[in-house]
Structure 1
Amino acid sequence: MLTKSLDRLAETIEQENAALLARDLTALSEFNRRKSQSLLEITRLIRSTNEGSLAGELTQRFAELREKLEINQDILARYMRAAQEVSEIISGAIHSANSDGTYSAPLTHAGASA
């Protein structure tokens, strides 16, 4: 049961990564819902599983899942940085458009006296 849950989560992460790399953001909320559901399911299954039975194949599956999650985290972080940069550009443009220069320091050319 736990291996099936791990497989579903891995598949969800792979699908999300593929969508993000293809710049398809239409299903992000669905991916988030599926990842949250998988996390809850896996957490419940681990709590009900004997710690000794988590060795071997499951240890490898968790390691593979961790690698997929690290890739996912990297891709999502790049999207967040890009969104932040776009936000700063838009904010600056709005500020410039709304400013009449009254409270701004005058711009002078290098070497020119004010």
Structure 2
Amino acid sequence: MLLSSLSRLEAIIDAETAALTAHDLQDQDDFNRRKSQSLVELARLGRAVDAAQLSAPEIDCLERVRAKLRRNHELLGIHLRAMQEVSDIVSTMIQSAESDGTYSAALRYQE
């Protein structure tokens, strides 16, 4: 049962990583929902599984999922930083467009 749960999670991570690599974020809500469901499922299984009794295929799958999660995490971080930069640019542009220049640093007193 653990292997099948890990395999489902691995498939979700692979699909999300491929979408992130292709800059296709349209299914991000679905990926988040599916990953959350997998997390709940693995948490339940984790309570019933003794880590000392994991089989070699289970350990291999866990290590593979861990590596894929690291890559997925890196890509998500890149996209979040890019989104923050775009948000900052848009915010600055809106503030500039709304400003009448009254408190602008470029304004200098002339004697």
Task: Give the TM-score, by structure 1 length.
Answer: 0.87
**Structure label with greater radius of gyration:** 1
Question: Alignment RMSD, CA only?
Answer: 1.8
Q: 2:87: which partner in 1?
A: 87
CA offset digits 1:71-102 (Å, max 9, x no partner): 11011101100000001100111111111111
What is the CA–CA distance in structure 1 between the aligned matches of 2:6 and 2:106, rounded to whole Å? 61
Q: 2:20: which partner in 1?
A: 20
Q: 1:100: which partner in 2?
A: 100
Structure 2 gaps, min length 5: none
Task: Give the TM-score, by structure 2 length.
Answer: 0.89
What is the CA–CA distance in structure 2 between the aligned matches of 1:35 and 1:29, rounded to whole Å? 10
CA offset digits 1:22-54 (Å, max 9, x no partner): 122111111111111111111111211233222
What is the CA–CA distance in structure 2 between the aligned matches of 1:90 and 1:30, rounded to whole Å? 27
What is the CA–CA distance in structure 2 between the aligned matches of 1:30 and 1:58, rounded to whole Å? 26
What is the CA–CA distance in structure 2 between the aligned matches of 1:102 and 1:47, rounded to whole Å? 62
Q: Cα distance, 1:55 vs. partner? A: 4.8
Structure 1 gaps, min length 5: 109-113
SS of alignment partner, residue 4 of structure 2? helix
Identical positions, percent: 48
What is the CA–CA distance in structure 2 between the aligned matches of 1:102 and 1:52, rounded to whole Å? 68
Q: 1:111: which partner in 2?
A: none
**What one-letter code is carried by the residue in structure 1 that aligns with 2:46?**
I
Matched residues, number: 110
